[in-house]
Structure 1
Amino acid sequence: MLPRAVRPDGRLRLVIFDCDGVLIDSEGLSCRAVARELRQIGLDLDDEAAVHRFAGKALTAIKIEAEAETGRALPADWAATMQGKLVELMRREARTIDGAHGMLTAVVGLDLPVRVGSNSSIAEMDVKFGRTGLDRFVADRIHSARDMGKPKPDPAVYLHAAAIEGVAPDDCIVLEDTDTGARAAQAAGMACVLLRPLDHPAPDWPGLFRIGHLSEFAPFLERILVSQGRDGGRS
């Protein structure tokens, strides 16, 4: 059965966003920076292949993969050091996904509360949202799976966001762009919308919906609200 959030007999009460690849266009920047570092220990991986391979993954998981593939040990603090480098990179170069400002404005206009659950650290998200101006939508409503020590696909960050809001998991909907993140939403018992070009492959999972551009998300939510008799969130 579909999560209650998207059913006509349910009630959508919370929207949770992933950060990278959904609100902030940082996946490419981050993955290429990680690839440059890992090529120094002999990982044979070009920048574009790194984006496909590492998008949505925690640095700790990437470290384990790289060590297994190369047979070389990275420093114990590699993930923390790399995180610091990414924070500085985002301070200079972070930008929004096309349509993010308009989409967030529209979602807030539906009277739906929003939160963010990401594998990025709070420090990195603060920099990204501050640089791009998205902090006005999500200030004090961001949650880090990395800082919790439970990166996606563990559902902990999504369950935590719902608990802080005081909302049951199956009254939430998540916007994600990676299979890893979608698995976390599914494991949390939440409905999930996957932001991905519609001609690209995607999992066929119950409770997983598709959009190709952020401009489609608020109308999708409004249709759910209308089906629940809520007049697009205004009642």
Structure 2
Amino acid sequence: MALALSADGQLKLVIFDCDGVLVDSEDTCCRISAEEARAAGMNVPDEKAVETFSGMALPGVQEVIEQKTGKSLGSDWAAKTQARFVAAMKDGVEPIDGVYAMLEDVKKLGLPVRVGSNSSGEEMEAKFIATNLTKHFEGRIHSARDMGIPKPRPDVYLHAAREEGVKPENCVVLEDSNTGARAAVDAGMMCVLLRKAGEDVPDWPNLVVIHHLSDFAPLLQKALQAQRQSA
């Protein structure tokens, strides 16, 4: 089966993760998670926060803290921590470098876009308002947290494809975390992984690495040109 970046494939939809791909909020959310972990007795300094909690949905964060401390955080912990996330996002969050130009370039290619994230819909709304990204994704945002099936499960990406009316093999996902990349690959989609040069990359199939958002649209354009030529 030819995937969306192959010359004999068909690229029909681009799905973006949110944190670390569109908005730079992961440090803030991981730092809050680390604060909560320390309050429960788990030793996670701020400098280890991203390494420990990157890409994880709040139920997963809660599970890790409870396993490490042997304490129950309670049934309302995730909701309370999510409220802290939303408040932090409203105080200010930065766009990922190059995001506006990248989105315009993808739009010029005529490709529809959607978002699939482990963040809640409420969190993403706050983040997109703060970074002026709402207009790009209105009505096209999907939350794995709100679905109750967080990544690395592939469900949120499969749901986004169904909503667009396209097959998984016709989708490209832009991710930055191993958790999200696993979800995309398991969904049967092509995954483009945004990673700084020199950082570790999983040895998984259907994974392409870029180092800056400016590399993304040219990759899609090259695939579309090859597909038109082979049609």
Q: Which secondary structure state, in structure 2, belongs to the residue aligned with residue 173 of structure 1? A: strand
The 4+ residue runs of structure 1 with deviation greater than 6 A are none
Give me the whole-angstrom Cα distance separating, in 2, the residues matched to 1:219 and 1:48. Answer: 34
Residue aligning to 2:174: 175
Which residues of 2 match residues 157-172 of structure 1 at below 5 A?
157-172=156-171
Contact map agreement 1:174 1:192 (CA 8 A) in 2: yes
Which residues of 2 match residues 14-33 of structure 1 at below 5 A?
14-33=13-32
Which residues of 2 match residues 83-232 of structure 1 at below 5 A?
83-229=82-228
Give me the whole-angstrom Cα distance separating, in 2, the residues matched to 1:226 and 1:74. Answer: 52
Q: Which secondary structure state, in structure 1, belongs to the residue aligned with residue 41 of structure 2? A: coil
Give the Å deviation of 1:4. 2.2
Give me the whole-angstrom Cα distance separating, in 2, the residues matched to 1:208 and 1:153. Answer: 15
Deviations 1:7-59 (CA, angstroms, capped at 9, x unpaired): 11111000000000000100101000111122111110101211111010011
Contact map agreement 1:25 1:96 (CA 8 A) in 2: yes
Residue identity in the other structure for 2:183: A
Give the Å deviation of 1:68. 0.9
Residue aligning to 2:81: 82
Q: Which secondary structure state, in structure 1, belongs to the residue aligned with residue 95 of structure 2? A: coil
Residue identity in the other structure for 1:52: E
Give me the whole-angstrom Cα distance separating, in 2, the residues matched to 1:159 and 1:9. Answer: 22
Residue aligning to 1:47: 46
Give the Å deviation of 1:198. 2.2
Residue identity in the other structure for 1:44: N
Q: Which secondary structure state, in structure 1, belongs to the residue aligned with residue 44 of structure 2? A: coil
Give me the whole-angstrom Cα distance separating, in 1, the residues matched to 2:211 and 2:94. Answer: 19
Comparing 46-55 with 186-195, which one deviates more in the overlay? 46-55
Give me the whole-angstrom Cα distance separating, in 1, the residues matched to 2:52 and 2:36. Answer: 15
Residue identity in the other structure for 1:119: N
Q: Which secondary structure state, in structure 1, belongs to the residue aligned with residue 193 of structure 2? A: strand
Give the Å deviation of 1:190. 0.1
Deviations 1:42-87 (CA, angstroms, capped at 9, x unpaired): 1101012111110100110110110110111112110111001100
Residue aligning to 2:8: 9
Taking structure 1 as the reference length, what is the TM-score of the superposition?
Answer: 0.96
Residue identity in the other structure for 2:157: Y
Contact map agreement 1:176 1:195 (CA 8 A) in 2: yes
Q: Which secondary structure state, in structure 2, belongs to the residue aligned with residue 170 of structure 1? A: helix
How well do the aligned residues superpose, as a CA RMSD in angstroms?
Answer: 1.4
Give me the whole-angstrom Cα distance separating, in 2, the residues matched to 1:44 and 1:191. Answer: 37
Contact map agreement 1:198 1:210 (CA 8 A) in 2: no
Contact map agreement 1:158 1:188 (CA 8 A) in 2: yes
Residue identity in the other structure for 2:100: H
Q: Number of paired residues?
A: 231
Comparing 170-179 with 30-39, which one deviates more in the overlay? 30-39
Give the Å deviation of 1:186. 0.6
Structure 1: tracts of 5 or more residues without a match: 231-235
Residue identity in the other structure for 1:57: M
Give me the whole-angstrom Cα distance separating, in 2, the residues matched to 1:139 and 1:216. Answer: 25
